[in-house]
Amino acid sequence: MTSRTFDRSGLPGTVQALPTTGCIFDRLWLCPEAPMYDAILFDLDGTLIDTESIALTTGMAAFAAHGHQVDAAFMHALVGKDEPTASRIICAALPGADLTAINRHWRKGFNEGVEAGLDLKPGARDLLPALSHPLAIVTSTGREGAHRKLGIAGIARAFAHVVTLDDVRAPKPDPEPYLLAASLFRVSPARCLVFEDSETGAEAAHRAGCVVVQVPDVVPSEGRWAHHLAPDLLTGARMAGLL
């Protein structure tokens, strides 16, 4: 888990500070200008950056190269999962697969796709600089990979903290990653708004007690774990009262 100086100077637009009212009941929501949330927490892959499409394409190619024709539904079952969990799913479905060779092939293709450039998900470039709240990333990606993606996408400086797979004992859908993020800001999880794309991530945030906006990416969702189900980040932010 990495802490960063809270700085959005590298993002377009102007960050507007919330009005200071002097109301002693701000934290109790009794003041009209009181902020609804103390921190905003974002999943990374599929929520802020478009990596899931790269993973889908390169993953199917890797399986095919090693004699396993898998479909999109199989790949969708891996979305939002940390690598150890995804490996268990693959081994159960394909008992004879050479997982080491497949992962090596897949990782090479995926890394090449990431290095070629990462697109932000719709609304991300407008939403991030519009928020005055403290922001954190909560991802099932390892530390090195998470920071590399943030750097390539050009949004690393927006986040005060980055919570990764390497920082927790139990990854999503366990609530630990989101509980850790809330503790880093010293706020209640109930005062944290979370943006997630996957069922796994939305479940983790919901179980932590956070308010959840789910913006499905490659896998459709009925929003079982979400308080707000939205087609894009900006719509989700409006539904949650941020904009």
What pLDDT digit, counting tens, does each position of 131-166 carry? 999 999 999 999 999 999 999 999 999 999 999 999
Shared domain for 95 and 152, answered yes or no, is: no
* pLDDT for residue 40: 98
Shared domain for 144 and 225, answered yes or no, is: yes
* pLDDT for residue 30: 37
Q: Which of 110, 119, 115, 114 is nearest to 47 (CA)?
A: 119
Shared domain for 175 and 194, answered yes or no, is: yes
Which is higher by pLDDT, 125 or 53? 125
* Confidence check: pLDDT of 49 > 50: yes
Number of domains in the chain: 2
Shared domain for 189 and 83, answered yes or no, is: no
Q: Which of 7, 38, 43, 232 is catalytic?
A: 43
Shared domain for 61 and 38, answered yes or no, is: no
Shared domain for 172 and 221, answered yes or no, is: yes
- Which residues form the domain of 79? 52-115
Shared domain for 66 and 185, answered yes or no, is: no
Burial of 54 (0-12, 13-18, 19+ CB in 10 A): buried
Q: Which of 57, 93, 58 is nearest to 77 (CA)?
A: 93
pLDDT band at residue 86, thresholds of 50, 70 and 90?
A: confident
Please tell me the distance from the alpha carbon of residue 70 to that of residue 234, in angstroms, as a whole number: 34
Shared domain for 129 and 212, answered yes or no, is: yes
* Confidence check: pLDDT of 2 > 80: no
Q: How many CB atoms lie within 10 A of CB 98?
A: 13
Q: Using a CB cutoff of 8 Å and minimum separation of 24, what contacts does 107-110 make? A: 109/57, 109/58, 109/61, 109/62, 110/51, 110/54, 110/55, 110/58, 110/59
Shared domain for 136 and 20, answered yes or no, is: yes
For the question of residue 45 being annotated catalytic, the response is yes
* pLDDT for residue 141: 94
Shared domain for 58 and 169, answered yes or no, is: no
Report the relative pairing of strands 161-163 and 135-138 from DSSP bridges. parallel
Please tell me the distance from the alpha carbon of residue 60 to that of residue 186, in angstroms, as a whole number: 42
Kindly state the average pLDDT of the residues 72-79: 85
* Confidence check: pLDDT of 15 > 50: no
CA dist 176 → 201, 210, 216, 243 (Å): 11, 12, 22, 28
Kindly state the average pLDDT of the residues 115-124: 95
Which of residues 115, 137, 162 is at a domain's end? 115
* Pair of tokens at residue 111: 């890394």
Q: Report the chain's C-alpha Rg in angstroms.
A: 18
Residues 6 or more apart in contact with residue 112 via CB below 8 angstroms: 58
Shared domain for 179 and 131, answered yes or no, is: yes
What pLDDT digit, counting tens, does each position of 170-201 carry? 999 999 999 999 999 999 999 999 999 999 99
CATH of the domain at 181: 3.40.50.1000
* Confidence check: pLDDT of 23 > 80: no
* pLDDT for residue 81: 80
Q: Which of 45, 50, 197, 217 is catalytic?
A: 45
Shared domain for 74 and 157, answered yes or no, is: no
